[in-house]
Amino acid sequence: MMIFYWTAYNDFSKERRIDFYEQFSVLNYIPQFVTRIANLRLISVRLRHFPTRTILFLVGLSATVSGCTTVPEVFTISSTSDAVVPAYGRKDYGHALAAIASIMSRDFNLPVVDVLVTVYPSKASYESGAIAEGLRQRERLQQRGIKVLSEEEYIQSWKTLAVSSPAIGGYRNVHLENSRISTYRWDAWVKLLAHELTHSAQSELVRGGPSSSDRWLREGFAEWVGFKVADKFGAENFAEARQRVLDRIANARSYQTFPSLNQLVTASDWTTWMRTLGGAGTYGQSFLAVAVLVEEKGIEAMVRYFSLFGKVNNREANFLTAFGETLRSFVERFDKRATSGAIDPPDKATKEILAPQTLGGK
């Protein structure tokens, strides 16, 4: 079977390869269906003495279950919807995603434009979805005359990404591996969906084009939106979540050397520190830096920062234009506060702005 896939893949033109990767997940299920049908025959042989109706019921049930577990579910999410937050603890993708998009658009002015969210039932189908996403990104960059890595290198790096991360937020596409994320606690599940939709909004702000925005700003802001949304859902209070991250960082700092924000700029910087330090020094620290920036300069400045890359792809100039302070000055200020352990909760005035505004749900 694999040989057939590989031969077929190599015969395809470049355009068709992307489609092929999307089809690949469906082809992947054929052996599973054959096994299922064989199993059903065995069941019906063993259940010979059962009434026909019972057997038909079992066959129907089995077909329904196999249909539910093997076909990826796709949701189209748009921030124009004014959705209601789902009931506390309910992991309903359609409702949750619509409510998140609504909060992102209304409260943070973030664009969620016809995003296709695919929920994959298995590791294999998720990997093929991720590879298709990578190849689409490669095509977009190529169309803009940007030099890109080879197709094989793209396939390899997006496959690696799919293995290390159970969710990917791309341009108008979000990919979720349900077999992994359905085991998350509800607050973490909600936060993850909002995190990925934020990456999708960041891509929308530059219309799918390239952006050399700092990684700590991209990840930190996705985390920030994630915590804000979790608060609105009644899943976890924002101020408490912020304090929890601070405590985790203080604890990790007692036995680890932390990177400066200057060392969390590129994709390779990020991967290296994630491998050596894990979440506290990377996601945790980036979230706090973004929280401080939003508290000081406002959410509009943050959204403006990401959209500026649609015009000029210059990280230092865009930081200065958006926040009215040089990147160097902010990083120095933040690193000094972080190393002295002085990133306290925001002052009273800021606290009022950041007070949880629960939309119901809990």
Find out whether 69 and 121 touch, Cβ atoms under 8 Å: yes
- Nearest distance from C-beta of residue 199 to Zn ion, angstroms: 6
Give 133's contacts (C-beta < 8 A, 6+ positions apart).
158, 168, 170, 173, 175
Least CB distance to Zn ion at residue 9 (A): 29
Quote the least distance from Cβ 261 to Zn ion, whole Å. Answer: 16
Q: Which is nearer to Zn ion, 217 or 338 (CB)?
A: 217
Q: Are strands 115-120 and 167-170 parallel, antiparallel or unpaired?
A: unpaired
Q: Which is nearer to Zn ion, 190 or 222 (CB)?
A: 222
Name the residue nearer to Zn ion (CB basis): 133 or 219.
219
d(CA 70, CA 232) in angstroms, rounded, equals: 33
**Helical residues (DSSP H) of 206-311, grouped into ranges:** 215-232, 238-253, 267-277, 285-297, 299-308
Instruction: Give me the residues that bind Zn ion (CB under 5 A), please.
Output: 219, 222
Residue 135 or 225 with smaller CB distance to Zn ion: 225
Closest to Zn ion by CB, 18 vs 96, is 96
Is there a contact between 157 and 181 (Cβ–Cβ < 8 Å)?
no
Beta-carbon contacts of 148 under 8 Å, excluding residues fewer than 6 positions away, are: 138, 141, 142, 154
Residue linked to tokens 């089995």: 62
Give dist(CA 13, CA 5) in Å, integer.
14
CB of 166 to Zn ion, least distance (A): 11
Q: Within its chain, how far is the Cα of 74 from the centroid?
A: 15
Q: Report in angstroms how near the CB of residue 271 gets to Zn ion at its nearest.
A: 12
Which residue lies nearer to Zn ion by CB, 192 or 294? 192
**Burial bucket for residue 51 (CB in 10 Å: 0-12, 13-18, 19+):** exposed
Closest distance of CB 43 from Zn ion, Å: 44
Look at the chain and count its residues: 362
* Residue 225 Cβ vs Zn ion, minimum distance, rounded to whole Å: 11
What minimum distance in Å lies between the beta carbon of 286 and Zn ion? Answer: 10
| Shortest CB 223 distance to Zn ion, Å | 8
Token representation of residue 202: 């960041």
Nearest residue to Zn ion, by Cβ distance, number only: 222
Backbone angles phi and psi of 206, in degrees to 5: -115, 20
Number of neighbours of residue 140 by Cβ within 10 angstroms: 17
Smaller CB separation from Zn ion, 127 or 219: 219
- 20: its two tokens: 């092929």
Q: Which is nearer to Zn ion, 222 or 320 (CB)?
A: 222
Nearest to 299 by CA among 121, 150, 149, 109: 109
Tell me the residue ranges of DSSP E strands in 137-215: 167-170, 173-177
Shortest separation between residue 222's beta carbon and Zn ion, angstroms: 5
| DSSP structural state of residue 262 | G
Selection from 202, 317, 323, 219 nearest residue 261 by Cα: 219
Complex with Zn ion: residue 294 or 320, whichever CB lies closer: 294
Indicate the residue among 222 and 322 with the shorter CB distance to Zn ion.
Answer: 222
